């Protein structure tokens, strides 16, 4: 118990002509309750950079995954499509 384990789900959108199919990764990243208001403010205002910095500092082992996930979330929230360009870690 207490371990953060990546969960996996599969989804197929049968409403799309191509039957878009996805693998969804779920990860619970714990943070202090005292930071809840701060995190919700970033989320509500679309401050993706602050959210990425905060989470990357707390979970450096997931930094690249978080950067990719947040970049894609930003694109979707803006109603755009495409794949963000990411810089590989040194």
Q: Which two tokens stand for residue 85?
A: 């360009």
Tens of pLDDT, residues 35-60: 999 989 998 898 989 999 999 999 99
83 domain residue, yes or no: no
**Predicted TM-score of the model (pTM):** 0.61
Residue 18 domain-assigned (yes or no):
yes
Number of structural domains found in the chain: 1
Q: 1-8 long-range contacts, Cβ below 8 Å, gap at least 24?
A: 4/28, 4/29, 4/30
Say if 25 falls within a structural domain: yes
- Domain that residue 25 falls in: 7-77
Torsion sign over Cα 78, 73, 48, 46: positive
Q: How far apart are CA 64 and CA 54, in angstroms?
A: 13
Q: What is the tens place of the pLDDT at every residue in 10-39?
A: 788 888 888 888 877 777 888 999 999 998
Q: Which residues contact residue 63 at a Cβ distance below 8 angstroms, ignoring those fewer than 6 apart?
A: 56, 89
* pLDDT of 88 above 60: no
């Amino acid at each position: 118990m207490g371990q953060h384990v990546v969960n996996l789900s599969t989804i197929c959108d049968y409403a799309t002509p191509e039957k878009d199919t996805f693998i969804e990764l779920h990860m619970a990243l714990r943070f202090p309750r005292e930071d809840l208001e701060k995190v919700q403010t970033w989320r509500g205002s679309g401050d993706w950079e602050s959210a990425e910095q905060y989470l990357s500092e707390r979970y450096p082992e997931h930094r690249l995954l978080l950067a990719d996930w947040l970049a894609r979330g930003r694109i979707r929230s803006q109603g755009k499509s495409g794949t963000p360009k990411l810089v590989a870690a040194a």
